[in-house]
């Protein structure tokens, strides 16, 4: 099993550009989530999903959109990138909310 796969690994954007961070899991997990990690801030929840067709906002949702059309995929869209969105982004999944969270290897995003 590949687990949780994130692409791309690195990305540089200009202010105002849009892009989609891809996340796929092959463990048939219902729960998926996106976090951003900044120095000294730990992991902050952006959006999460408890199943296909169901998404909800986390702690820092502004500037990001998500959708969950299948169990496997949970893409994160940046609508108009801003320098404040420079961060490392992690996708994660688990069988249930209380279950072990499996993380992808992260996407390092720089917005110039």
Partner 1 sequence: TQLLEQSPQFLSIQEGENLTVYCNSSSVFSSLQWYRQEPGEGPVLLVTVVTGGEVKKLKRLTFQFGDARKDSSLHITAAQPGDTGLYLCADIYNQGGKLIFGQGTELSVKP
60-89: contacts with partner 1 (CB under 8 A): none
Stretch that binds partner 1, among 16-24, 67-75, 77-85, 99-107 (CB under 8 A): 99-107
Task: Provide the minimum distance between the beta carbon of 107 and partner 1 in the complex, in angstroms, as a whole number.
Answer: 11
Quote the least distance from Cβ 15 to partner 1, whole Å.
26
Cis check for the bond before 8: say yes or no (omega within 30 of 0). yes
Spatial CB neighbours of 88, under 8 Å, sequence gap ≥ 6? 36, 37, 38, 106, 107, 108, 109
CB 93 within 8 A of CB 25: yes
Count of residues that interact with partner 1, criterion CB under 8 A: 25
Question: Using the rule CB under 8 A, which residue among 59, 80, 83, 84 binds partner 1?
Answer: 59
Q: Is 41 in the site for partner 1 (CB under 8 A)?
A: yes
Give 76's contacts (C-beta < 8 A, 6+ positions apart).
20, 21, 23, 34, 46, 47, 64, 65, 66, 89, 91
Question: Interface with partner 1 by CB under 8 A: which residues?
Answer: 4, 31, 33, 35, 40-45, 48, 50, 56, 58-59, 90, 92, 97-98, 100-101, 103-106
């Amino acid at each position: 099993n590949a687990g949780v796969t994130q692409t791309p690994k690195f990305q540089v954007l200009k202010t105002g550009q849009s892009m989609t961070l891809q996340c796929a899991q092959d463990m048939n997990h219902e729960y998926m989530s996106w976090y951003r990690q900044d120095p000294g801030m730990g992991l902050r929840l952006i959006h999460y999903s408890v199943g296909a067709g169901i998404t909800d906002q986390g702690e820092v949702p502004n500037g990001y959109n998500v959708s969950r059309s299948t169990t496997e995929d949970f893409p994160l869209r940046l609508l108009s990138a801003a320098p404040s969105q420079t961060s490392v982004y992690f996708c994660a999944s688990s069988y249930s909310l209380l279950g072990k969270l499996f993380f992808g290897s992260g996407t390092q995003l720089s917005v110039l």
